[in-house]
Amino acid sequence: MTIPDSAPPGSSPSSSSFPEAKEEQVVQRKRPLPAWVIAIPLAFAAGLGGYYLGKPSAESGGAQAEQAGSTRSGSSAAGRTTGPATTGASTTTSTATGRLNGSGAVVAVTASTAKAGTLTTQRTAAGTVVPAKSTSVVTRSSGTVTEVPSAVGQTVRAGQVLVKLSNPDLNAAVDSARNVLQSAQAQLASQQATLRTSRVGLEAAVQSAQLSLKNAQQTYSAAQQLYAAGAMSRSDLNVQAVAVQNAQSSLASAQTNLAQNTNAQQSGVRDLQLSVDKARIALSQAEQQARAVVVLAPFAGQVSAVLVVSGQYLSSGAGVVTLVSSDRQLTFNVPPADAPSFVPGRELSFVVGQQRYPVKVVSNPGSATNGVVPINARFAGRAAPAAGTVGAVEYTSAVGTGTLIPTTALQADNDKVGVFTVQNSRAKLQNVAIIGQTGDTAVVSGLAAGSQIIATPPAGLVDGVRVDTTGAGKAGGSAVPARGPS
């Protein structure tokens, strides 16, 4: 490239003679400075300025801090809310304005006294009115339906006829059982008569043998006297002795026959009596089966369904009518965690529209079905809604027992939860575990009852900062009034 000897007036040789250099300079001027080049000086200046600005003079510092503290206190008071009542807990609050002292700034806070108790909440469950009893009435014997005197919607009394059946085989079974019983009774009567007649003869034979023995003994005694006097020979005396022996043998035989008759009566008659008893039971069962062709209502109620028609053959155990009682009860489901409190006799309220009905728990199986526990309750008053009515069951459930605090006092830091307590006029962050909460109240563990906590920590409050809870705005009262569980 040739460099010209001269340039036009008012122009720079570099700008006119070197166009490539000019373009490079323009590009360099447009390139921005790195961010760190600007950030470091600004950060240094801000830190130094903040140090001097945050160090007020003795004359003005107190007033500035007092004004700032009042602003923070007002913001905290405006942010407080009122929540629902809980069980067995109360808090006492106090506020004060911030001020300065020789050791630095003092932050005005709202202090609360944590107390132990049980946190409760009001819950509802959908309830349905159902009949207290509902059953499918079944047959106890087989047969053909001959009559259906009941109809859907009909009110029946206990023992009223619902369905009639016919079964000729059952009638024949009754006749057969009756014949068996009569035969067994006849055999028993015959045996008893025979034994009775035989016993009369055997008893007479014993009496006759006893008399013969007595006579033989008297004759033998007289013969002995004659023999001693020499008036009877020895052979004649022996004859009388043999007569006594024969009489004794006859008596023993007669007594044996009588004893055998007694044993026969006891054994034979007993066996026949057992046969009679069995036949009588069989007849009773047959008659019961025959009577079972008439199906009766087991309790008073209303017929909700008729399951048979005339002429239909039914086996034993077949359903004929669905019967529901006129009494009503309430059924509803609760979570397994709430189920233990539903003991029999617990009073609840069932709400249908604007109407409230008192009910009492009657049964609680304790075990869950499909994730819920079914509860049954009866209506305590005379009035009860119609079956099928759906409403809300109101009940109080315990959320948990521990230390009660306002939810505004909870401070979350990643996976930890803490509460600022007041210890020696300083804020102390203490870790707690949340058991449960409802509304503006929480129940926690890890915090002793009676601890002074900061109910609404100001923004930016850190552990160890001096705090003031003793201002003129101090007020006592129960923010969480006690209430027993229902």
- The pLDDT of residue 46 is 46
Nearest to 220 by CA among 232, 208, 207: 232
Q: Is 228 helix (H, G, I), strand (E, B) or coil?
A: helix
Tell whether the torsion through CA atoms of 234, 239, 242 and 248 is positive or negative: negative
Q: How confident is the model at residue 38 (pLDDT cuts 50, 70, 90)?
A: low
Top-ranked range on mean pLDDT: pick from 28-37, 53-62, 95-104: 28-37
| For residues 232-245, average pLDDT | 87
| For residues 147-153, average pLDDT | 90
- The pLDDT of residue 32 is 54
- The pLDDT of residue 31 is 54
Contact 114, 405 (CB under 8 A): yes
* Model pTM score: 0.47
Please check the confidence at residue 466 and state whether its pLDDT lies above 90.
yes
* pLDDT tens profile 16-26: 444 444 444 44
Residue 382 DSSP code: S
Dist CA 59 CA 203 (whole Å): 144
Give 198: exposed, middle or buried? Use CB within 10 Å, 0-12, 13-18, 19+.
middle
- The pLDDT of residue 382 is 78
* pLDDT tens profile 163-211: 999 988 888 988 999 999 999 899 888 877 877 777 777 888 888 888 9
Please check the confidence at residue 243 and state whether its pLDDT lies above 80.
yes
| For residues 359-388, average pLDDT | 90
Dist CA 82 CA 483 (whole Å): 16
- The pLDDT of residue 465 is 92
Secondary structure in 3-state letters for the chain: CCCCCCCCCCCCHHHHHCHHHHHHHHHHHHCCCCHHHHHHHHHHHHHHHHHHHCCCCHHHHHHHHHHHHHHHHHHHHHCCCCCCCCECCCCCCECCCCEEECCEEEEECCEEECEEEEEEEEEEEEEEEEECCEEEEECCCCEEEEECCCCCCCEECCCCEEEEEECHHHHHHHHHHHHHHHHHHHHHHHHHHHHHHHHHHHHHHHHHHHHHHHHHHHHHHHHHHHHHHCCCCHHHHHHHHHHHHHHHHHHHHHHHHHHHHHHHHHHHHHHHHHHHHHHHHHHHHHHHHHHCCEEECCCCEEEEEECCCCCCEECCCCEEEEEEECCEEEEEEECCCCHHHCCCCCEEEEEECCEEEEEEEEECCCCCECCEEEEEEEECCCCCCCCCCEEEEEEEEEEEEEEEEEHHHEEEECCEEEEEEEECCEEEEEEEEEEEEECCEEEEECCCCCCEEECCCCCCCCCCCEEECCCCCCCCCCCCCCCCCC
Dist CA 251 CA 259 (whole Å): 12
Structure tokens at 257: 């026959």
Dist CA 320 CA 297 (whole Å): 11
